């Protein structure tokens, strides 16, 4: 099923998300490319993508470019391999569609169960609880999706919190698998549905941002912040952790699976706290500055079209050509602190 998600994702990108993005006038062009330069390319691919001050000075003398122009080249070179806004929109639309579907399915399924309203029902008759077809389907689809996310993370948009997200996916897959094997599926369905609620709003906020609907994007992001904090820092510990740490122990006593399950759930809560810090910081900027500032999970280094387009020679009256290359279209230098592109 995980491979089916990969296949469906590519089909969705090409035939559904892309036409929608173009209809909404999402930019299809990627980051501006750096001009070809054999010397800088060799340094970039073989030595470092982030040259230090000493190396920048050496390259400046070798190419007769000023340091800022070389910084600008490396910045463009790093950015040019990153995805376009169109690609990011398609990814968010695919995830939004899945989260909306599975969250709706989860709510409809849980409305019919007694453990939604009374978490102690999660432990009645355990471990001899029947595995209902709807519950089995819910688990298999969620598990397959998170498996696909864990693998696709290596080929999808790279973000600054790659390590944290990878840890999250491992913990999530382990939790889903462990709870399925040990038949702790009732509380597992509550956990899955609770986590999907905020993800729906987040992906909607991203799509609005890529469409340059700033006010809608800000509103959705603030809504996401509220839903995330309430669900992950409020409902999750008071509802999920309370029943697994206390009600489960009272009902069944001590057994090894209880501790393994709770350790994984607590690790998940630690990740919730870390992300809540980032979200609160971004929400504070949104309120204080009137719009959502660049998120700490932004995946593309920012650029500005206001920079000059030709590298300035240290010799003011000449246009330099090195190894058959001339001036470059520029972005703000890596160390110059230019205006940040905004992404939730």
The per-residue DSSP string of 146-162 comes to HHHHHHHTTTS---TTH
Q: What percent of the chain has pLDDT over 90?
A: 40
Tell me the backbone φ, ψ of residue 314, rounded to 5 degrees: -70, -20
Q: Beta partners for 24?
A: none
> How do residues 19-53 score in pLDDT, each as one tens digit?
676 666 676 666 677 788 888 888 888 888 888 88
Query: Structural domain of residue 73, as residue ranges?
Result: 32-81
> How do residues 101-124 score in pLDDT, each as one tens digit?
999 999 999 999 999 999 999 999
Q: What percent of the chain has pLDDT over 70?
A: 72
pLDDT for residue 263: 95
Q: What is the distance between the alpha carbons of residues 307 and 309, in angstroms, rounded to a whole number?
A: 6
Angle subtended at Cα 100 by Cα 135 and Cα 131, rounded to the nearest 5 degrees:
0
The position carrying tokens 């330099």 is: 320
Over the Cα atoms of the chain, what is R_g?
A: 25
Is residue 266 domain-shared with residue 201, that is, in the same domain?
Answer: yes
Is residue 189 domain-shared with residue 212, that is, in the same domain?
Answer: yes
Is residue 126 domain-shared with residue 242, that is, in the same domain?
Answer: yes
Domain count, the chain: 2
> How do residues 267-290 score in pLDDT, each as one tens digit?
999 999 999 998 898 878 767 776
Q: How confident is the model over 244-257, as a mean pLDDT?
A: 92
pTM of model > 0.95: no
Q: Which of 49, 81, 113 is the last residue of a domain?
A: 81
> How do residues 74-106 score in pLDDT, each as one tens digit?
888 887 767 778 888 888 888 999 999 999 999
> How do residues 227-239 score in pLDDT, each as one tens digit?
999 999 999 999 9
Burial of 23-62, coded b for 16+ CB within 10 Å and e otherwise, reads eeebeeebbbebbebeebeebbeeeeeebeeeebeebbee
pLDDT for residue 23: 67
């Amino acid at each position: 099923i995980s491979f089916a998600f990969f296949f469906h994702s590519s089909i969705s990108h090409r035939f559904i998300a892309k036409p929608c993005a173009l209809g909404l006038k999402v930019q299809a062009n990627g980051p501006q490319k750096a001009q070809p330069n054999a010397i800088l390319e060799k340094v970039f691919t073989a030595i470092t993508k982030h040259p230090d001050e000493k190396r920048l000075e050496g390259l400046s003398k070798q190419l007769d470019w000023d340091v800022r122009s070389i910084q600008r080249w490396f910045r463009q070179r790093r950015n040019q391999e990153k995805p376009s806004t169109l690609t990011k929109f398609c990814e968010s639309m695919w995830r939004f569609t899945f989260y909306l579907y599975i969250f709706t399915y989860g709510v409809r399924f849980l409305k019919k169960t007694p453990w939604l309203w009374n978490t102690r029902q999660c432990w009645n008759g355990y471990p001899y609880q029947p595995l209902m077809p709807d519950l089995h389907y819910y688990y298999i689809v969620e598990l397959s999706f998170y498996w696909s996310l864990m693998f696709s993370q290596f080929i999808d948009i790279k973000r600054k919190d790659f390590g944290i997200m990878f840890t999250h996916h491992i913990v999530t897959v382990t939790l889903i698998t462990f709870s399925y094997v040990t038949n702790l599926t009732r509380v597992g369905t509550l956990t899955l549905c609770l986590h999907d609620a905020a993800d729906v709003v987040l992906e909607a906020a991203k799509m609005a941002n890529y469409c340059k609907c700033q006010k809608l994007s800000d509103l959705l992001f603030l809504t996401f912040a509220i839903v995330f904090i309430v669900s992950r820092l409020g409902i999750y510990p008071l509802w999920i952790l309370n029943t697994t740490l206390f009600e489960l122990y009272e009902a069944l006593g001590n057994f090894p699976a209880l501790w393994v399950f709770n350790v994984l759930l607590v690790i998940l809560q630690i990740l919730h706290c870390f992300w809540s810090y980032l979200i609160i910081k971004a929400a504070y900027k949104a309120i204080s500055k009137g719009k959502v500032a660049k998120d700490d999970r932004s995946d593309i280094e920012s650029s500005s079209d206001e920079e000059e387009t030709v590298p300035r020679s240290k010799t003011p009256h000449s246009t330099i050509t090195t190894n058959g290359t001339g001036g470059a279209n520029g972005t703000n230098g890596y160390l110059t602190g230019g205006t940040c592109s905004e992404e939730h």
